[in-house]
Structure 1
Amino acid sequence: MRALGIVSAAVIAFPVFADTVVPARTIRPHQIITEMDVTYAAGDLLSGFGQLSDVIGQEARVALYAGRPILVGDIGPPAVITRNQIVGLRYAAGGIMISTEGRALERGAIGDRIRVMNLGSRATLFGQILEDGTVKVRN
């Protein structure tokens, strides 16, 4: 019984840490993260990443500095549309579909909601980026 108390005290005295994903070098915003950009560091962070596979292929939203943990809000899916890019716009309602061109006023990834300007009317609209790189305009 006495040995069990010593063992449990030793476990409490030495907490176990998991590995946290950190940049191996500074990563600039809008850069795609590769295997060579990240590594593990000792430490447990609730809002960080524990697996390299969760980070590789993502895009840095902010500057990531070597040795500092990568937080959930620091990365996201890669952008498919950049600011000022000419994009296809689609609007569908009541069995009618309208397609035209617009200019992206923001950058974004698939599924993001961005502002676009209709080149014909110069109206600013909001739309969601589709998988094919076009923007589905919402009313």
Structure 2
Amino acid sequence: MLKLALCLIALPALVAANPVTAARTLPTGTILSQGDLAFGEQADPAALDALIGMETRVMIYEGKPVTPSQLATPTLVERNQMVTLSYVSNSLQIDTEGRALSSGRLGDVVRVMNMGSRATVSGEVAANGSVVIRNR
């Protein structure tokens, strides 16, 4: 019972520890900018910088706290998007055009149809939005 009472006493402090809230209603898929977030005097600038550039996974309503569980890294490749498909093996690199068959974030493995051969391959999404197939 004592533990429960201590948790209830500490609860308002835990809620106040996250002063970053949504400045407007943020639909799913919104890439956060500084104007999308409102923060109090206790806000840590480093924590705010970590949120900027992230993508919302769920709708966040105006005035509600923004938590890391509601965010993800931005989607770099959308389904049906034309992408550069790169095959890399040691010092050899071959680039061609492909169509993404699924969406993906940095590091995700997505399927891509090679537009030249119509073959379907799987590769990893790179930071520049291309899909890389590495020789294993």
* TM-score of the aligned structures, taking structure 2 as reference length: 0.68
Question: Against the structure 1 CA distance between its residues 73 and 124, is the aligned structure 2 distance closer, same or farther, given a 3 Å change threshold?
Answer: farther
Q: Are 2:132 and 1:133 equivalent residues in the alignment? A: no
Determine the C-alpha separation between the residues in 1 that align with 2:7 and 2:100: 55
Greater alpha carbon shift after TM alignment, 14-23 vs 121-130: 14-23
Select which of 60, 63, 81 maps to 1:64.
60
Question: Against the structure 1 CA distance between its residues 90 and 72, is the aligned structure 2 distance closer, same or farther, given a 3 Å change threshold?
Answer: same
**Deviation for aligned residue 1:13:** 8.4
**Deviation for aligned residue 1:97:** 3.3
Greater fraction of residues in helix:
2
**Does the 8 Å CA contact 1:126/1:138 hold for their aligned counterparts?**
no
Unaligned residue ranges in structure 1 (runs of 5+): 1-10, 42-49
> C-alpha root-mean-square deviation of aligned residues, in Å?
3.0
Select which of 87, 94, 115 maps to 1:91.
87
**Does the 8 Å CA contact 2:25/2:59 hold for their aligned counterparts?**
yes
**Deviation for aligned residue 1:36:** 2.1
**Does the 8 Å CA contact 2:113/2:120 hold for their aligned counterparts?**
yes
Give the fraction of aligned pairs with identical amino acids, expressed as a percent. Answer: 39
Aligned to 1:39: 38
Unaligned residue ranges in structure 2 (runs of 5+): 1-5, 41-45
* TM-score of the aligned structures, taking structure 1 as reference length: 0.67
Amino acid at match of 1:38: L
Per-residue CA deviations over 1:53-80 (Å, capped at 9, x if unaligned) read 2212212222222233333232222233
Select which of 103, 109, 113 maps to 1:113.
109
Q: Are 2:47 and 1:51 equivalent residues in the alignment? A: yes
Aligned to 2:29: 30
Determine the C-alpha separation between the residues in 1 that align with 2:77 and 2:8: 51
Determine the C-alpha separation between the residues in 2 that align with 1:13 and 1:87: 52
